Structures are given as C-alpha cells and as structure tokens.
Amino acid sequence: MAVGVRIVDDPSPGGDGLPVMDVPVFVGFAARGPLHRPVALDSAAAYAEVFGGGLDLVQAGGDPAERLVAHLPAAVEAFFAGGGRRCHVIRVAAGTASAARFTVPGLRLASRDSQGHWQLAGADFPLRAASPGDWADRLQLSARLRSQALHAADRVAPGDLLRASQPSRPGVAAWTRVALAGSLVQALASEWLWPQGGAVPIDAEAWLIERVQVDLALRAPGQPVQRLDACGLAPGADKLPWWAPDADGLYDAGAEPAGWPLAGMGGAPAGDWLLLPLAMADDFADWTPAATDGRDALARNGLDSFGPALFVDPAWTPGLRGSRLMAWADELRFFGDAPRRLRGLHGALGRDDACAAEASWVLVPDAVHPGWARTAPLPGRDIVVTTTPDPVCTCPPTTFDDCAPPPPQPPQPPRIGFDPGVPGLPAVLPADRDVSLRLRADPTDGGGAQLLEVQLAGQPDFSDLRVVANLVPAAEVTLRLSAGAWWLRARARRNGLSSGWSTTAELDVRASGWRALAGAAAVDAATPINAALLALCAASREHFALLSVPLDWPAPAIAGHVAALRDEAGRVDSAEAGSAASFAAIHHPWLLQRDADDRLRRHPAAGALMGLLARRSRLHGAWGAPGAEPLATALQLAGELQDAATLEALGANPLALRTDANGTGIAAVRSQTLSQDADWTALGVRRLFILLRRLCRREGQRFVFEPNDLALRRGLERSFDALLHRLMQRGAFRGADAASSYLLKTAAGADAAREMERGECSLLIQVAPSRPLRFLTLHLRRSGEQLVIEER
C-alpha cells in the first residue's frame, strides 16, 4: 500500500439514485436545545442528547398529578421506533424563554481597565445553561483547583495561569499569565497581579510556582456527574468554557449543540483579563444550585402564552400564499439586507443546509394542545424542623462515691413537620415558589440545642445532598424548589455532639400554577397552524404535511377543520390551486403509547405513522401507501372514537384495529389527502409528484450550462427516460410498458427555434401514477345451512 493511502470499508447501504424522500421535519416543544433551528438527528438517543427527554407542561385536570406533556419527544421516538432513520427537529418557544444561571464557587474575574489598573469582580464568576428552559433547574455546579508545581527548567505555554505563593505568607498569592512559550524563568519576569497587595520580587527558588487550572462538575438527581477538566483561566488557553457560546451559537458555528450543557454569559472582555481561583477547594466540596429569573417553569420555557404565534415565523402573515409566500421566504433567507433563518414551521424550508436538501415531510405534533391558563397554585406549606426534648431520666438514685459529672449526651434527633398541618406524606409543595424553612425549639426542650443542620437532596440516598440550613432554632431560610421529588433530613448539634438523623421527609413538588383549558374554553390553535402548514407545503410543492386534530374533537369539529383547510387551499394564487389541498392529510384518532419514562400517555398518531411511511418509502418507493402494516408503538386507540366510514366522510384517514395472520395491531386503513379532486386524493400520487419535482431539479441542474441546441433536448429526453423507466420497473406507474406509463416531449422544429431564441429549453413529462388499492370488505356469514357472502 502506498504511503499515506488508507482504505476504509464503507458499510452504508447503496441508494437507488433517487432523491431522499423519507426525511421529515418535526416542529414542537422540547425541554432544551437550540431554538428555531432544524437540527439533524439519526436516532432517539441523539434527540435526547440535544433536546432532552419529556417536557411537562401544565396540569391537565383536577388532580395535580395528571399532566399535559409535549408531544414532540413521543413523536420523534415513535418515528425512529417505526423505521425512521433520519429527521430534523425544530424546537419552538417564545422569545421570553430564559436560561438558568450558575456561579463557579471561588472563581473571580480580574480585568484591566482603560487606565491599566486591574479590577477584581466582587462576586463569583457566572455561567448559564446552554439553552433556555427549566431543564437545568435541578443541576448543581462545583469546581475544584488543579495545580502543578513547576521548577526553573520547566517549560510553560501561552495561556498558562501561574500562581506564586510562600508558606510563610499564608493567604497571599501573586498571579500572572504566560504570553509566549518559553521557560519558567522567562515567565517570572512578566507582570504579576497581587489581589491582596504587597508586591515583592519573585524567584523560582524562594517561591512555590504552580500552573493552575480548574475542573468543573455538574450533577443532577439520578444522573451521572458530568466533568469538564483542565479548564484554562487566561487568554490563549485551549479550553475556555467561561466564554463558550450557547446551543444556538454552536449550531450557527456548525458544531454539535450536544455536549457540555453550560455556556458563558457573553464574549470575553475586550482588554486583558484573568480568572483567579481565590477561594476554591482542591475537591468538589461546594455545590451551587441553579438560579432563575423568578418566573415559573412554563414561562421560562417560553410557553406561557400558547397559540399559533409560537409555531410560525414572526414576519409571516396569513395572506402569504403560493408564489408570494416563496418570494417572501427567499427574501428573508437569501436576498434581504440581513438574511436569516426562518423560524417556526417555516424553518422547514431550510437555508442552504441538509434540511433544505432532504426534508419532504413536515409534522407539528404540538399544534393540537387545548391551551392553558393560570389557576390558583397549590397552597403554601412551611417546612418546620423542631428540636426534640431529651428523654426524662428514670435512672435509680446512686451513691456519691463517684463525684465526676455525668458525660455529656448527644441531643435527640429533631422532627420535620409542616405548617399548616396537613396530614399525609409525602408533603405536596408548590414548584417555583418560595417555601419557608423554619427552625424551632420545642418549648419543653431544656437541653438547649445550639444548631440545627438541614440537608436537601434529589435522591433518597442523599448522594447529591446540599446543606440548606445550619443555624440556631428560631431562624428561617427561604427555599425555591423545581418540580419533582425531593428529600429532606435534619440533625441537632450541642456541645460538639450531633444527634442522629431525623426521619427522612419526602417532598412532592408540583408545578400547578397553570391548568389546561377544556370544553368550550379550549383554544383551537390546530386550525390556523395546520392552515399555515398547508400553505407552506402547497407553496414549496416539495413538502407534505401529516396533520393531527385535538384528542376529543367530535365529528362537527373535524368537519369544520377540514372545510377550513380546503378553503385555505383554494386561496392559493397559482394555476395549481386545484391541487393545493393534496399536500396534507389528517389521521385520527390518537394512540396510547409508552413514553421513554415508561409511562402510558396519549399522543397524536402522526409520529408513529411517519416512521412507517419513512420505512415503506425506502423499501417500496415514495409513492407507496402505509397499507395494513401495524404502527410499531401503538398500544391502543385513544380519544374520540368515530366509525371509520364517518371519519372518511369527514375527510380524515381513520386508524383502526386490524387482525391478520401476524396478530392484532393498529393500522391506517386509508391514505387520502384533503383534496377532493379525484386525481389528487391518493397520498402516494402527491408523493410521487414531489419525487418527480426533485428529480427535475436535480437533473435539470446538470444541463444548465450546456449549449442550448437540439442535442441538449435529446440529452434531456434520454436522461429522464432512463429515470422514469426505472420508476416504472419499481411500480410507480400503472402502465404495462413505457408507452402507457409516461410520455416525454421536447420542442421541435419552429417551436424549438423560438425557445432557443428566448434562451429557454422545456421538457414535457406526463405520467400515469399507480394508485394504492383501498381495502374492500367481504363479509362471510352462515344463514341456516347456507353461506352468504356480502360486499361492504
């Protein structure tokens, strides 16, 4: 083998030469991750890395434990479980979403002002969660000092932070950064910063010189600790998480948005700066919790105002349709003074990226929520830790032979209660609201307990504990807890002796300041969102929308929804308006699925159906129908169950329980678009034409710079004849041969001459698409001694 040549086996399966047609775009609510940017994913695990797990939204009913959750995570998981291989996900939220903040314990920023003087920050250095949302509320951050003693002959590198100290002067240290690579002796001649004052000459023999770095650690209940080691502290260092971009910035830079989940608070200072670990331990001793802006979780997720505005680009207006919509999109994406990505569902168009090249389906599973409104939160309950009196001595009288006083006894474990006293544990407390932790002494406790230590943890074994109080009785501490389970314990100290731990109290913290709307009060966001999505697909003509309707919509509501969408399709300002409704299909009812947290929940069927359609598109072609194959993650039908014939009459595709030789499952028994034009009712026909448009775009680009003559037209015919013949062999057309399946025609004679004079070249393509068979029913029954076969 030649030097420098490496041969690698590529295990990826070979394609069929046709454009990719199995990649969808999912738009909805996620726990974390970049906002309004399509992120390419190839597995459910990749989704969890970038966008987190499930997202709890609001209280669904009268019971605070009954919750409304985001449908996006379940839709993506069902897509991959059903056979999908790749998708793009767009997380949407309002601009009011905010990220949690953290402080690095013991780390201070020193920066040089315009006068050349060093200024030391008065507070520990801040970091923030890499993306908005309440997902980081239960994280805790810690830092430890990493130091390496240096000798005079050692080499130093640009960006190294050096600390000089002497055992005879405890608490006093000098700091400098290395600007140029060289020896330690050369670095000692640089300028040193003395935060405590007292500058004196430094030499390598009399002083301890150390190279200093910082290790960071993040922990969350039930999760392994995340580490980021050997972080630099001066300009020029390799690893500087202090100024790291957030998830949006990483995505814009082409980097993976997953990874270390914290970002800096902004760019580095314009002048010189140092980060000094002035009061940092050499182990992960101090863990600082997340700090928020004081709003509740829903508001910090940017979802406190539910409506269509969450899902569309802010510059879009409902009147934009057809060619005007595409012109508007191109102006924002490419031609305007400040080109930018489109937001919301309009981001499915992409912007010179993989999403623009691959995606041909669009799903918005969270459009079907009923909306929510503020409601009375849970009543506040103070947590009270009370000392326990020592037991009354019942020892028999003793003689005075031993005059030594009795040895001191440790105090009794305190007890944890709640005010106002509501019986039953775990105690239910409101999330994201201040809770008072009161320390009290029992009136009959004459032992004089001096301190009460209270620990809080997110795990029942207290592996992630933090001390929230270490004070005398009669003190009070304010806690603010995020939703979830917490555990609390306490002990008393007196005369240097500690009691045992109290009985552990479990706190059930619930976010209950919002409640889902129901009945007539529910918000119909699905109709305007689905109308905007249909308008997008009909304008691009290369996307198809899988739509859903709310869970318990009755037949009249579905009928009104379909009528509104067909009316929207009829307003498309193009010659193809008659087929605009064929770019969308509705499937109903919902499905009962098992989510990633192993809980059974009801979700729209679009995600599960998309996985099946993606797999069949790869195996059988983009024109294929879902057939009778069961949906992989569907356990049961859920929601308002209408008869299949009724749903068909309304314009929706019914899902039904089917039994065959392989067992029982839930399948889509119809795959029709919203169009009422007989030529465009089959979903597979519209998908075939989307494929043909993409083929025309790809193949046409090959001929753009060819001479505009008759040879060009013959080349076009030969190229497309080969492609269409291949599609015919795979079953895309219903003809028995090429002549009855498709027709290709270019201009000839005088028509070709006129085209060449205008600088044009045209190719007419006519096809006879295959159409999937509907399931017809034969009912076999016995009547007396005869068999009766009925068609239904």
pLDDT for the residue 637: 92
pLDDT 10s digits, 185-234: 888 888 889 887 777 788 778 889 999 999 999 999 888 999 999 999 99
pLDDT at position 627 is 75
In whole numbers, what is the pLDDT of the chain averaged over residues?
A: 88
Helices 44-51 and 72-81 pack at an angle, to 10 degrees, of: 160
Helix (H) or strand (E) holding 427: strand 427-430
Provide mean pLDDT across the span 20-41.
96
pLDDT of residue 70: 97
Whether 106 contacts 143, CB under 8 Å: yes
State yes or no: pLDDT of 13 exceeds 50: no
Q: How confident is the model at residue 157 (pLDDT cuts 50, 70, 90)?
A: very high
Share of the chain above pLDDT 90, in %: 56
Q: What is each CA distance from 31 to 93, 254, 259, in whole angstroms?
A: 10, 22, 15
CA 535 to CA 565: how far, in whole Å? 9
- The segment with the largest mean pLDDT, out of 1-5, 157-161, 422-426, is 157-161
Burial of 121 (0-12, 13-18, 19+ CB in 10 A): middle
Q: How far apart are CA 626 and CA 612, in angstroms?
A: 7
Confidence (pLDDT) at 424: 53
pLDDT at residue 350 tops 60: yes
- Check whether the bond before 626 is cis (ω within 30° of 0): no
Q: Distance between CA atoms of 544 and 690, rounded to whole angstroms? A: 8
235-268 pLDDT, tens per residue?
Answer: 999 899 999 999 999 988 888 888 899 999 888 8
Instruction: State residue 704's pLDDT score.
Output: 75
* Percent of the chain's residues with pLDDT above 70: 91
Instruction: Count CA atoms within 13 Å of residue 209 on its CB side.
Output: 27
pLDDT band at 8 (very low <50, low <70, confident <90, very high): very low
| Most confident option among 36-40, 374-378, 727-731 | 36-40
- How far is Cα of residue 199 from the mean position of the Cα atoms in its chain? 51
What's residue 2's pLDDT? 47
What is the pLDDT averaged over residues 155-184? 89
Scanning 7-53, the segments in alpha helix (DSSP H) are 44-51
pLDDT, position 452: 93
Q: Provide CB contacts within 8 A for 656, sequence distance 6+.
A: 637, 644, 666, 667, 669
What is the pLDDT averaged over residues 303-328? 94
Q: Write b or e for each residue in 454-480: b if 16 or more Cβ atoms lie within 10 A of its Cβ, otherwise e.
A: bbbbbbeebebeeebbebebeeebebb
Distance of alpha carbon 770 from alpha carbon 787, whole angstroms = 35
Of 16-20, 239-243, 536-540, 622-626, give the lowest mean pLDDT range: 16-20
* pLDDT at 401 > cutoff 60: no
Provide the residue ranges of all domains of the chain, joining segments of one domain with +: 24-82+90-95+299-372+521-680, 101-292, 382-390+410-478+492-511, 705-792
Rounded CA-CA distance 330/474 in Å is 66
> Which pair of structure tokens corresponds to residue 497?
């002796």
Q: Is the pTM of this model over 0.75?
A: yes
- Check residue 454 and give its pLDDT: 96
Residue with tokens 């029913």: 777
According to the model, what pLDDT value does residue 14 have? Answer: 45
pLDDT surpassing 70 at residue 445? yes
pLDDT of residue 7: 46
Query: Which region among 322-326, 415-419, 556-560 has the lowest average model confidence (pLDDT)?
Result: 415-419
Q: Determine the pLDDT at residue 9.
A: 42
Read off the amino acid at residue 168. S
Q: How confident is the model at residue 579 (pLDDT cuts 50, 70, 90)?
A: confident
Instruction: Report residue 771 as tokens.
Output: 């159409």
pLDDT average, residue stretch 443-460:
85
| C-alpha separations of 328 from 361, 470, 553 in Å | 21, 61, 34
Q: How confident is the model at residue 442 (pLDDT cuts 50, 70, 90)?
A: confident
* pLDDT for the residue numbered 10: 40
* Local confidence band at 17 (pLDDT 50, 70, 90 cut-offs): confident
Distance CA 627, CA 673 (A): 15
Dist CA 189 CA 199 (whole Å): 13
Segment 651-658 mean pLDDT: 90
Q: What is the pLDDT of residue 186?
A: 85
Question: What is the per-residue pLDDT for 792?
Answer: 52
Q: Are 275 and 216 in contact (CB under 8 A)?
A: no
